[in-house]
């Protein structure tokens, strides 16, 4: 894995490796000193052309906990119209000497384009348009494994798992990454949305079913993944109103009661209470939104570690299913290894 541009970059073994390493970093995160020296001397740049405080903070926290230096750039998409091309912007950042570039952009495919232009820098897609958001999907996979198979190392818990993805699949980069990752691990994925919020074609998508009736699928669903519905989609162009959407596709208390007892609910956030999920449902234990957020740092640590840290891994052993190569002991901070991070403040697009 040279870059993480989409879930297609990871085969099943690599997916397991990311999840296992992430689990180890979850444990690290619970220590008094959650920092490890794995990427000391390495530099991670976060380049966000589309604002996202949550994802940026998650990536930067991950990089700092790995003792990497962090360069933080934010630029509105409008800055491109101020004269500098995307390629010039990216090559300027690369020439500052970075090892990984974490990029988010409102336009699909930008990380793919950027990866073609860079010679040695690893590119991590932090969300591109409606294309992919691979680390979010990895977070969801890790969260599912933690609850379906606590302490588990393999991916057996995904075989035959019934996952229902609900909402604006057409415009969702999370959904595209989820479908790819879940299907690769053997889950049975059902998509539920009004027809206008489904992609125009689902030919070739590894999904079991596509439907418009949420009530019908909930009783046989193990995992519900709710997608955010942006307000402008509910202004009469894609659905008549958010109210009508919530009526048909919102996870109300009555709908939540249709789920099997051990079913869980995921949401990539930020949640709009009362639209995709009712306020009272959001506080049920089956809703794992907070766990997803806390897993975010560990997953992004795992991705950065696997992309950048392979040369000086603490253990040369295989990290395949069942292996313990990513044991927390090997990743723990050595005595006296004070973490030193340098922060360059953001280039503001004011």
Catalytic residue annotation: 54-55, 82, 104, 133
Long-range contacts of 27-30 (CB under 8 A, 24+ apart): 27/328, 28/65, 28/298, 28/301, 28/328, 28/331, 28/332, 29/65, 29/294, 29/297, 29/298
* Binding of residue 173 to another protein (CB under 8 A): yes
- Region of 67-75, 124-132, 154-162, 313-321 interacting with another protein (CB under 8 A): 124-132
Work out whether 2 is an interface residue with another protein (CB under 8 A): no
Tell whether residue 119 is a contact of another protein (CB under 8 A).
no
Rank residues 64 and 133 by Cβ distance to another protein and give the closer one: 133
Angle at 110 between CA 109 and CA 112, to 5 degrees: 65
Site string for another protein, 249-268 (x = CB under 8 A): --------------------
Within 8 A by CB and 6+ apart from 207, the residues are: 179, 183, 189, 190, 191
Nearer to another protein, 208 or 215 (CB): 208
**Which residues, other chains included, contact 78 with Cβ-Cβ below 8 Å and sequence gap of 6+?**
349
**Among 62-70, 141-149, 202-210, 300-308, the segment contacting another protein (CB under 8 A):** 202-210
204 binding another protein? (CB under 8 A): yes
Q: Does 153 bind another protein (CB under 8 A)?
A: no
Regarding 131 and contact with another protein (CB under 8 A), the answer is yes
Cβ proximity to another protein: between 103 and 277 the closer is: 103
Q: Which is nearer to another protein, 182 or 287 (CB)?
A: 182
Residues 268-327 that bind another protein (CB under 8 A): none
| Distance of closest approach, residue 3 Cβ to another protein, in angstroms | 13
Separation of alpha carbons 106 and 127, rounded Å: 8
CA 22, CA 296: separation in Å to the nearest integer?
9
Contact between 108 and another protein per CB under 8 A: yes
Task: Give the CA distances from residue 305 to residues 63, 183, 200, in Å, rounded to whole numbers and listed in that order.
Answer: 9, 25, 37
Kind of pairing, strands 223-226 and 209-211?
Answer: unpaired
Name which position in 2, 31, 87, 340 contacts another protein (CB under 8 A): 87
- What do you get for the CA distance between the two ends of the chain, in Å? 36
Among 27, 205, 220, 314, binds another protein (CB under 8 A): 205
């Amino acid at each position: 894995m040279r870059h993480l541009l989409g879930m297609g970059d990871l085969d099943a073994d690599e997916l397991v490796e990311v999840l296992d390493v992430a689990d180890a970093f979850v444990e690290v995160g619970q220590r008094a000193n959650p920092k490890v020296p794995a990427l000391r001397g390495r530099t991670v740049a976060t380049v966000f052309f589309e604002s996202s405080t949550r994802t940026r903070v998650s990536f930067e926290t991950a990089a700092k906990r790995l003792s990497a230096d962090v360069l933080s750039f934010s630029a509105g998409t409008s800055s491109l119209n101020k004269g500098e091309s995307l390629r010039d912007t990216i090559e300027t950042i690369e020439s500052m000497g970075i090892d990984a570039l974490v990029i988010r952009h409102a336009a699909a495919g930008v990380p793919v384009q950027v990866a073609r232009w860079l010679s040695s820098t690893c590119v991590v897609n932090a969300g591109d348009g409606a294309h992919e958001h691979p680390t979010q999907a990895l977070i969801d996979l890790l969260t599912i494994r933690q609850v379906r198979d606590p302490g588990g190392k393999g991916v057996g818990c995904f075989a035959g798992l019934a996952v229902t993805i609900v909402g604006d699949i057409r415009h969702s980069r999370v959904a595209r990454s989820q479908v790819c990752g879940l299907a690769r691990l053997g889950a049975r994925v059902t998509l539920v949305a009004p027809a206008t919020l489904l992609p125009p074609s689902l030919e070739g998508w590894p999904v079991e079913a596509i439907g418009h009736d949420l009530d019908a699928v909930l009783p046989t669903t193990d995992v519900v993944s709710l997608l955010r519905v942006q307000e402008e989609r509910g202004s009469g162009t894609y659905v008549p109103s958010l109210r009508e959407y919530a009526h048909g596709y919102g996870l109300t208390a009555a709908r939540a009661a249709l789920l099997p007892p051990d079913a869980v609910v995921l949401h990539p956030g930020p949640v709009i209470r009362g639209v995709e999920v009712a306020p009272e449902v959001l506080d049920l234990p089956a809703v794992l939104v907070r766990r997803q957020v806390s897993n975010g740092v560990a997953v992004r640590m795992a991705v950065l570690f696997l992309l950048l840290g392979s040369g000086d891994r603490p253990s040369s052993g295989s990290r395949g299913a069942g292996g313990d190569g990513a044991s927390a002991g090997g990743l723990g901070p050595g005595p006296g290894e004070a973490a030193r991070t340098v922060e360059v403040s953001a280039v503001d697009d004011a």
